[in-house]
């Protein structure tokens, strides 16, 4: 490839390759061959640029049929880089790994090659070698002999098929996976999701299963009609199951709707966080009286006459006019103020938590977290010196702490202040 322009002054590491052993003997007359030609090429490697010199040997007997044959150290040269390549195997594997394992973009790969290894290449070079890497990986993954070795201890195979659409308007990529060994068998883009097109994928999966000599125990997919008909035609009698994720997603729709409504209600009841934070920040950032303390870093340099202006005072290495009003720096928050700010930040994070699937609705998690904050505030109030606890007050189970209708646990005031409080009781609306 002609994507690399080597600048002047590059220091190459010379690698000389000479055919040895049987490669040095003529295959026709078995005479010792003589070096009569040299092939040279420059190759990028992660250890630095290489100057590969391959010596070419020929049979010295002009009457021998092997006189026109070339004898080179093909294996040694191939170990560095394939013919016509301008990068070595190490650079090639590095680019492919960054692109497909870490999902780096082409500009990222180019920048890292230049900054870390001093290899300046074009975007076309990276794209070409990444495409070659993809072809090699696909060929390796679909190698039947390798599949036979991987599935030698597997009694049968479980297959699944799903359609992925990378971007709107592009072809749908249909992926066939095997669940026993947890590997992708193949993927193919299809312009149409019609049954005849999809049926070809099932036929290919059938041939691969027959090639490794393993029976197909079952299929898993969504209820797309092309999948259902394809399994029935190509794999008659093989069980076809509905994908558990799709099943849960459909079954959880009413649950998630109710959970979303509960989150809205909780956010409506928890108000005033911003006002509390404003008051705390105003107290922290307001001017505070500063005591006059003698500081050895402040030294009077010179007293001048009144006509010359006010005296100059040195603060460290800088001269400061003491008549100029200097705004005092805001003080740091006190312990009590920091506790209030931490509670506000915690509650805001709880209210903004929208993560979770059908098995972990965020509304339930939000309710439990708000209950923990409420318990913490109650403990602070009850244990404060001179507070309500000192006057004989104990927390009681009020409307905000009543058990749920399905819970038969009787909660006492002591339970209300402990971590053993029934979690299900927090699902009731708070007042």
- What pTM did the predictor assign? 0.50
Q: Where does the pLDDT of residue 84 fall: very low under 50, low under 70, confident under 90, or very high at 90 and above?
A: confident
DSSP for 238-294, written as a single string: --EEE-HHHHHHHHTHHHHHHHHHHHHHHHHHS--HHHHHHHHHHHHHS--------
Between helices 89-100 and 123-141, what is the axis angle to 10°? 80
Is the confidence at residue 316, as pLDDT, over 90? no
Lowest mean pLDDT among 155-169, 379-393, 414-428: 414-428
The domain segmentation of the chain, as residue ranges, is 13-80, 89-141, 147-249, 255-277+335-427
Mean pLDDT of 309-338: 58
User: What CATH fold (topology level) applies to the domain 147-249?
Assistant: Nucleotidyltransferase; domain 5 (3.30.420)
User: Is the model more confident about 174 or about 58?
Assistant: 174
Token pair recorded at residue 55 = 């010596």
Residues 6+ apart with CB under 8 A from 298: 313, 314, 315
Q: What is the mean pLDDT of the chain?
A: 76
Q: Alpha carbon 33 to chain centroid distance?
A: 56
Q: Alpha carbon 202 to chain centroid distance?
A: 32
Specify whether the CB–CB gap between 201 and 174 falls below 8 A. yes
Winning range, highest mean pLDDT, from 79-93, 135-149, 325-339:
79-93
Q: Where does the pLDDT of residue 139 fall: very low under 50, low under 70, confident under 90, or very high at 90 and above?
A: confident
Q: Where does the pLDDT of residue 358 fall: very low under 50, low under 70, confident under 90, or very high at 90 and above?
A: low
Largest Cα–Cα separation, the chain: 118
Summarize pLDDT for 393-423 with one digit per residue, the tens.
554 433 344 444 444 444 433 343 333 344 4
Radius of gyration of the chain (CA): 38
Mean pLDDT of 335-344: 82
Pick from 109, 131, 136: nearest CA to 122: 109
- Residue 392 burial class via C-beta count within 10 angstroms: exposed 0-12, middle 13-18, buried 19 and up: exposed
Specify whether the CB–CB gap between 187 and 127 falls below 8 A. no
Q: What single DSSP character describes residue 97?
A: H
Pick from 140, 250, 251: nearest CA to 186: 140
Residue ranges in 329-427 assigned as alpha helix (H): 335-351, 362-383, 413-416
% of the chain exceeding 90 in pLDDT: 25
What is the model's pLDDT at position 102?
A: 92
How far separated are the first and last CA of the chain, in Å rounded?
A: 73
Q: Can you tell me the distance from the alpha carbon of 313 to that of 299, in angstroms, rounded to the nearest whole number?
A: 6
The alpha carbon torsion through 371, 374, 379, 382 (nearest 10 deg) reads -130
Paired with 183 in beta bridges are 178
User: Is the model more confident about 48 or about 33?
Assistant: 48
What is the model's pLDDT at position 90?
A: 94
Mean pLDDT of 204-215: 91
Q: Alpha carbon 362 to chain centroid distance?
A: 23
Q: Where does the pLDDT of residue 391 fall: very low under 50, low under 70, confident under 90, or very high at 90 and above?
A: low
Specify whether the CB–CB gap between 390 and 367 falls below 8 A. no
Q: Where does the pLDDT of residue 324 fall: very low under 50, low under 70, confident under 90, or very high at 90 and above?
A: low
Q: Can you tell me the distance from the alpha carbon of 266 to that of 350, in angstroms, rounded to the nearest whole number?
A: 11
Q: Can you tell me the distance from the alpha carbon of 4 to that of 100, in angstroms, rounded to the nearest whole number?
A: 23
Token pair recorded at residue 373 = 């904050």
User: Is the model more confident about 299 or about 421?
Assistant: 421
Specify whether the CB–CB gap between 291 and 278 falls below 8 A. no
Lowest mean pLDDT among 100-109, 186-195, 230-239, 379-388: 379-388
Is the confidence at residue 8, as pLDDT, over 60? yes
Lowest mean pLDDT among 7-11, 102-106, 126-130, 181-185: 7-11
User: Is the model more confident about 36 or about 316?
Assistant: 36
Half-sphere exposure of 188 (CA within 13 A, CB side): 18
Lowest mean pLDDT among 19-23, 53-57, 344-348: 19-23
Q: 140-170: buried (b, 16+ CB within 10 Å) or exposed (e) per residue?
A: eeeeeeebeeebeeeeebbbbbbbeeeeeee
Summarize pLDDT for 14-25 with one digit per residue, the tens.
998 888 766 677
Specify whether the CB–CB gap between 218 and 240 falls below 8 A. yes
Specify whether the CB–CB gap between 64 and 29 falls below 8 A. yes
């Amino acid at each position: 490839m002609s994507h690399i322009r080597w600048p002047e002054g590059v220091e190459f590491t010379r690698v000389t390759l000479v055919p040895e052993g049987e490669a040095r003997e003529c295959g026709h007359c078995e005479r010792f061959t003589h070096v009569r030609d040299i092939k040279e090429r420059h190759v990028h490697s992660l250890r630095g640029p290489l100057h590969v010199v391959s010596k070419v040997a020929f049979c010295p007997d002009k009457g021998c049929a092997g006189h026109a044959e070339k004898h080179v150290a093909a294996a040694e040269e191939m170990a560095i880089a394939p013919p016509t390549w301008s990068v070595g195997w190490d650079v090639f594997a590095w680019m492919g790994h960054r692109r497909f394992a870490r999902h780096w973009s082409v500009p990222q790969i180019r920048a890292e090659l230049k900054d870390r290894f001093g290899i300046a290449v074009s975007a076309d070079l990276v794209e070409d070698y990444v495409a070659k890497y993809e072809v090699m990986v696909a060929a390796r993954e679909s190698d039947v002999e390798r599949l036979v070795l991987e599935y030698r201890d597997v009694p049968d195979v479980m297959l699944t098929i799903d359609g992925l659409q990378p971007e709107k308007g592009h072809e749908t990529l249909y992926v066939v996976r095997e669940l026993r060994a947890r590997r992708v068998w193949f993927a193919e883009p299809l312009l149409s999701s019609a049954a005849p097109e999809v049926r070809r994928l099932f036929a290919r999966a059938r041939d691969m299963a027959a090639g490794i000599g393993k029976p197909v125990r079952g299929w898993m997919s969504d209820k797309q009609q092309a999948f259902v008909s394809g399994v029935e035609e190509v794999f008659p009698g093989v069980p076809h199951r509905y994908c558990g994720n799709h099943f849960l997603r459909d079954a959880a729709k009413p649950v998630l709707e109710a959970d979303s409504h509960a989150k809205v209600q909780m956010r409506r009841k928890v108000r005033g966080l911003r006002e509390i934070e404003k008051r705390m920040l105003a107290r922290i950032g307001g001017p505070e009286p500063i005591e006059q303390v003698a500081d050895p870093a402040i030294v009077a340099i010179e007293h001048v006459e009144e006509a010359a202006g006010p005296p100059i005072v040195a603060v460290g290495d800088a001269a400061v006019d003491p008549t100029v009003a200097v705004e005092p720096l805001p003080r740091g928050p006190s312990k009590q103020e920091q506790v209030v700010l931490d509670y506000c930040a915690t509650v805001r994070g709880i209210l903004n938590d929208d993560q979770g699937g059908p098995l972990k609705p965020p509304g339930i998690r939000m309710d439990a977290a708000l209950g923990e904050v409420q318990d913490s505030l109650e403990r602070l109030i009850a244990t404060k010196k001179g507070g309500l606890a000192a006057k004989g007050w104990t927390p009681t189970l009020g409307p905000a702490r009543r058990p749920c209708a399905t819970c038969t646990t009787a909660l006492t005031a002591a339970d209300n202040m402990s971590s053993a409080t029934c979690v299900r009781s927090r699902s009731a609306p708070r007042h």
